[in-house]
Amino acid sequence: MKKEISIIIPCFNTAGYIRKCLDSLIGQLDGFVYEIILVDDASADNTAEIIEKYINEHDCNIVFIKNEKNLGAGASRNKAVRAAKYGYISSIDSDDYISDGFYGEMYAAAVKSDADVTACDIVCVDAETDGQILCDAFNGKVSRYSLISTGLAASPCNKLIKKEYLIKYPFAEGIMNEDVASILAIVAECERVAYCENARYYYVQRKGSVQNSVLSFKRLDIIKAVDIFESRIKSNPDYEKLLDIVVFNQIICFALYVPAKERGLVKHVPFLRKFGKLSKKYNLTENKSYQKLLGISPRKQKMFFKYYMRCLCGGFPLFASAFADMAYFYKKYSSNRYVIKKKIERRDVIAAAEKNAGARGGVTVTAAIPNYNYADFLYERLYSILYQDYKINELIILDDCSTDNSREVIDEIVPELSKHISVKKIYNTENSGSPFKQWRKAIENAESDYIWIAEADDFCDRKMLSSIVSPIESDREIVISYADTAFIDRSGKVIVKTIKPEIDLMRTGHWNRDFVNDGESEIKNYAFLNCTIANVSSAVIKKDDYSDIFGEVGSFRQVGDYYFYLSVMQRGKVAFKNKPLNYYRMHGTNVTSTTKKQQHFDELKRVHSILDAKYGFTPEQKEKLEERYRVLTDAWKLGE
């Protein structure tokens, strides 16, 4: 059977990106009968020249179409679809790129299920920082509804679609969000959808792109696009359910989050006035999905959403604008802060070590840094450890056979640091393949009372160590003391302010205050359900012989950290600091497959069975565990 595919790429002013886009797909089309249809929409830069040069340099089947005038993405896509020869169509935006083996994996998944639409997950990439966030293609089990109910569902780019559907439901022309009218209607009407877990589409977020442009009346095309979608699915038996979720994802979420990206009544009032009029037919405040959002939102956020939407939909754009401005300032001065204020250099690290040598410290602490290919972050990590206002007694740097220049960085700075602090270097001769082997080495080689395993790519607040050691100074029975964790991107920008909602799955409020608790009590009442220490970098652990624990940890591939924390907790007390002082860095090096998720799920149940055998779960606890399993099965698309 021939593998036939048409790849369409609309282009407009992407001279700086088009070559990378083409490079990402050219080398993976061996064995395919294919065509790449490039449509330049009268670019004002040299995009067309770069494409022509690329065609001359490469022996590949590229069809190049030039629009005489700018027609918009919808018209360009439709022109390419009509020109396409083959039954499966892939669409790529000219500033994005795809993972290795993308087409082989997507095509195999499509053929296996005879799917009309095959989708993969999307990785959103910040063009400036290279920060990456993985977005699931499906919101639960693989189905048309779970595909259509995600925020990026309208994208044609993470999908392989049968041409007949793109002919039946063409892209909207003359408006933005042309894909909402087409792709969502196709997903709603097609017979079969499939999921490809081994492919990734990389969606580059850049300033100046259409979707990140400033507020203008043109952005209200989203409502026109939903209008077209609505007209196309009126005969669908699931019309009301589908329309509800699309209106929520495409219109309500736009209203809640986009205006708050800018400030100013002059911009907001006329925009929100027109938005209210155009969206009135959808009765937004009564939308079922919106009501669910209110039900799960924190109290302050819930109040903001309710009053803002009432003003917006009730014909009071001035008040709605005031709420949008409030959200803008709150976002600017709280969640969007950068915790790394400057470019940290070698001299900064040495100065921090010199200063830390004179700091106080009643409890001796070893800071251990496990590293693998994090040379880019080592200065920042060392600085964040050594600038603590609590004394570091010893530094252990463990390198697990890095293939970058990590060891050069370490070898260069250690002699200078050794003048101010005891430093040990532990270099593996071959990669261990396990972070827990590095943890074990760190603990066994430490000479202090407590060990802080500070992962090489993370960062922390200056007062983190003093805050989590403080309860230990008055109670040496504490075996683990940890702080709340925030998430940062590659550049140090805060993207998640607290991990508490993900820790407190039972909504107990337990982590809304500082506490010291008996370890077994902590397990029985809270940690039995899920891992409550989000990141090892957030904790100090009492020095002890943990060889028996690490012997068992080695049998876990996905939840070894959870098992380790639980085992240590059983030896004493646990302390928590209710403040996000640890910063876990998200930089896109880890993408979890469904296979790993299944392994994670199975290992989680194994840990629970160990706890049940030791403590005996109550009927209420077993019910909570079963609910947890159901949630994970749906969220991770297991059993498909």
Rounded-to-integer distance, Cα 251 and Cα 145, Å: 18
Amino acid at 335: S
In 3D, which of 422, 438, 441 has the Cα closest to residue 365?
A: 422
List phi, psi (to 5°) of 258.
-75, -50
Strand partners, 584: 487
For the chain, which residues score pLDDT lower than 50? Answer: 589-594
Q: How far is CA 64 from CA 30, 48, 570, in A?
A: 21, 9, 66
Rounded-to-integer distance, Cα 265 and Cα 224, Å: 24
Rounded-to-integer distance, Cα 368 and Cα 396, Å: 5
CA R_g for the chain: 27
Residue count of the chain: 640
CATH architecture assigned to 346-586: Alpha-Beta Complex (3.90)
**What pLDDT does residue 592 have?**
40
**What pLDDT does residue 480 have?**
98
**What pLDDT does residue 639 have?**
63
What's the CATH class of domain 3-212? alpha beta
Q: pTM here?
A: 0.65
CB 160, CB 104: distance < 8 Å: no
Cβ neighbours, 10 Å, residue 321: 25
**What pLDDT does residue 135 have?**
86
Domains 3-212 and 346-586 share a fold: yes
**What pLDDT does residue 326 have?**
83
List phi, psi (to 5°) of 349.
-65, -45
**What pLDDT does residue 92 have?**
96
Domain ranges of the chain: 3-212, 214-336, 346-586, 594-640
Strand partners, 394: 366, 422
